Amino acid sequence: MSNEFASKYTDKKIGASQWIAEFVCERLAFKQKKQLVYRFWNTQEWKAVFLNQMRAAQSLLKLYTVQAIMNVLSQNKNVYSLRAPWLDAQFQVEQLKLDALLTNYNPEKQISLPNIPETTETRATFSTTKNKLKGL
């Protein structure tokens, strides 16, 4: 892992996965109206969240470039976790676009983009009936 990014929360250079995880945690903190402190990943409140996002970023970086991941996150302001299942299709599309730009994209040549659903499905609501096994 190359340390090539400047961290807002430490004086050191950090790797891509930590930089992306910091970005997502920063966005989540803003949503929750909280401030991230220096080396926030060492605090009890943020440690698990940060490590989860960093592992997700490491997995994504095996498939996509930093630029593709950050482009998708910048385009979707309401993303608070890298593990959102609908993000994968968007990462694929963005990576294909970037690859096409890097390989002198020919407008005559078509690239096949993954099918992204127009609408998102709503989740089924949880059952409000009491669990009979709970009392056992």
- Amino acid in the structure at residue 78: N
Q: What is the reported pLDDT for 128?
A: 63
Spatial CA neighbour of 111 closest among 101, 122, 125, 126: 101
pLDDT of residue 6: 87
| 122: pLDDT strictly greater than 80 | no
Main-chain dihedrals φ then ψ at residue 43, nearest 5 degrees: -85, 150
Whether the model pTM is above 0.95: no
Q: What is the DSSP string of the chain?
A: ----EE-SSSSSEE-HHHHHHHHHHHHHHHHTT--PPTTGGGSHHHHHHHHHHHHHHHHHHTTS-HHHHHHHHHH-TT---TT-TTHHHHHHHHHHHHHHHHTT--TTS--PPPP--SSPPPPPPPP-SPPTTTT-
Q: What is the pLDDT of residue 88?
A: 87
What pLDDT digit, counting tens, does each position of 33-78 carry? 999 889 888 889 989 999 999 999 999 999 998 999 999 999 888 8
pLDDT of 120 = 63
Place of tokens 């499905």: 121
